[in-house]
Chains A and B, each alone.
Chain A
Amino acid sequence: MASLITCPHCGLRPKEEFAIRGDASRGRPEPMDSDEAWHDYVYVRANPRGRTLEHWHHVAGCRRFLVVERDTATHEVYSVVDAAEFARRAAQ
Chain B
Amino acid sequence: MVRDYNNRHALEQKLRSAPTPSAADHLMVGHWRTMATVLARTGQAEAVRQAIASVPELSLRFSGPGEWLVVSEVEAPSGLVRRLGELCDGRAHVVDQSDGRVVFRLAGPNVRSILAKGIGLDLHPAAFTIGGSANALCGHIPVNLARTDEDTFELIVPRSYAESLFDDLTKMGRAFDLTAAFSD
User: Could you tell me how many residues of chain A have their Cβ less than 8 Å away from some Cβ of chain B?
Assistant: 14
Q: Are A13 and B63 in contact (CB under 8 A)?
A: no
Tell me which residues across on chain A come within 8 A of B64, comparing CB atoms.
9, 61-64
* B59-81 to A contact mask, C-beta < 8 Å, 1/0: 00001110100000000000000
Q: Are A13 and B121 in contact (CB under 8 A)?
A: yes
Residue B95 at the chain A interface, CB threshold 8 Å: no
Tell me which residues across on chain A come within 8 A of B63, comparing CB atoms.
62-63
Task: For B64, give the chain A residue with the smallest CB separation.
Answer: A62
**B-side binding surface: helix, strand, loop or mixed?**
strand
Residue A60 at the chain B interface, CB threshold 8 Å: yes
In angstroms, Cα B67 to Cα A32, docked, is 36
CB distance from B153 to the nearest CB of A (A): 16
User: Could you tell me how many residues of chain B have their Cβ less than 8 Å away from some Cβ of chain A?
Assistant: 12
Tell me which residues across on chain B come within 8 A of A14, comparing CB atoms.
120, 137
Q: Are A10 and B134 in contact (CB under 8 A)?
A: yes
Q: Are A12 and B134 in contact (CB under 8 A)?
A: no
User: Which residues 24-68 of A sit at the B interface, judged by CB distance below 8 A?
Assistant: 60-64
Q: Are B137 and A82 in contact (CB under 8 A)?
A: no
Q: Are A17 and B65 in contact (CB under 8 A)?
A: no
Residue B87 at the chain A interface, CB threshold 8 Å: no
Q: Which residues of B contact A (CB under 8 A)?
A: 63-65, 67, 120-122, 134-137, 142
Q: Which residues of A contact B (CB under 8 A)?
A: 9-14, 16-17, 60-64, 82
